[in-house]
Amino acid sequence: MYQRKIPELLDCGLAVSIKVIGGKWKAWILDCIRRDIRRPSAIHREMQEVKPRIINLHLKELEDYGIIYKEIYAEVPARVEYYFTEVGKSLLPVIDVLELWGNTNKEYINRKHADYKEGSCVMLPESQRQN
Amino acid sequence: MYQRKIPELLDCGLAVSIKVIGGKWKAWILDCIRRDIRRPSAIHREMQEVKPRIINLHLKELEDYGIIYKEIYAEVPARVEYYFTEVGKSLLPVIDVLELWGNTNKEYINRKHADYKEGSCVMLPESQRQN
DNA sequence: AAGGACAGGGAAAAATTTTTCCCTGTCCCT
DNA sequence: AGGGACAGGGAAAAATTTTTCCCTGTCCTT
């Protein structure tokens, strides 16, 4: 486990929120669980682009924060499913707000961003790619 | 300027939102501007904890995204002030939502987090420190 | 002439996050 | 016995972000 060298400032609400959902794949994972894709292997299948190891790390982190929890069914082989805690449920509308703002403004942001740094390497959705 | 090696996935609204406000000090900077602390030097004074260079980089990025823009007054020495673009203004309520969720849940998150990894090194606000 | 405020940025180091590679088990099916 | 699905993690490499250090100017005041 990585040991921080610089203490985190977590007294600001915004810093806390971003810590929880700011990870590269966290939102996607939360979205899976919201859509009833609850088992690790199912999430792995859903997120082909991302290595299982990475997903596991994020799941663990979200579990650490008390956003999701695990049910381990004593079957054979053991079945694991993730569910939202109450706090986790309260996070969903927040994600919706972010998702909405992002979708509303992504063309604007991407265009502006491209205007400045043409060196950037942005992956457009397939429908917009032109190579 | 850093040249990405892995293309970004920016078709998801959430990824866009987090790209824009996810930087370590972006939210604080936006909050300064919102409170009429508009000049680079004033922002530097407000954010003593952060080196001016870093703030400048974030300001530049926010400007790139079209969240803020610069007014350069032809005085001597030149005076610079940052303002929100329309899109930038639309981001403010989003930040409020994040801030509110974070403030509502930070004790819960911090406690949960500490429960798991006691090795973590979290800087509490002064009022809560006990060393 | 020296010093400070102002706006700004290059280059490299350090810190952190993300990724890859590969390993541990159990069980089921063929 | 071999192969695949399942859940999970150590260790190191790579990528990215953040930070430090120090430099460029101009102008104003002492």
C-beta contacts of B35-38 below 8 A and 24+ residues apart? B38/B81, B38/B82, B38/B83
Alpha-carbon gap, residue A80 to A77, rounded angstroms = 10
Nearest CA in chain B to A67: B109
pLDDT value, residue A2: 86
Nearest one of A67, A6, A64 to B102, comparing CA atoms: A67
Which residues share a beta bridge with A73? A79
Question: What pLDDT is stored for residue A44 in this prediction?
Answer: 96
Q: What pLDDT score was predicted for residue A126?
A: 47
How do residues B16-39 score in pLDDT, each as one tens digit?
A: 999 999 999 999 999 999 999 999
Per-residue pLDDT of chain A (131 residues; tens, 9 = 90+): 788 999 988 888 999 999 999 999 999 999 999 999 999 999 999 999 999 999 999 999 999 999 999 999 988 778 999 999 999 999 999 999 999 999 999 999 999 887 655 444 454 454 454 43
Please give the pLDDT value at position A124.
Answer: 47
**Any idea where the domains of chain B sit in the sequence?**
13-111
Spell out, as residue ranges, where chain B has pLDDT lower than 50: 118-121, 123-131
Protein-to-nucleotide distance from the CA of A72 to the C1' of D2, whole angstroms: 29
B12 and A19 in contact by Cβ < 8 A?
no
Instruction: Pick out the nucleotide with least CA–C1' distance to A6.
Output: C15
B70: the nucleotide nearest its CA (via C1') is C7
pLDDT at A116: 52
Tell me which CATH code domain A13-111 carries: 1.10.10.10
Q: What per-residue confidence (pLDDT) applies to B115?
A: 63
A82, A68 Cβ separation under 8 angstroms? yes
Hey, what amino acid is at A45? R
How many other C-beta atoms can be found within 10 angstroms of the C-beta atom of residue B31?
17
Please give the span between the terminal C-alpha atoms of chain B, in angstroms, as a whole number: 41
> B60, B67 in Cβ contact below 8 A?
no
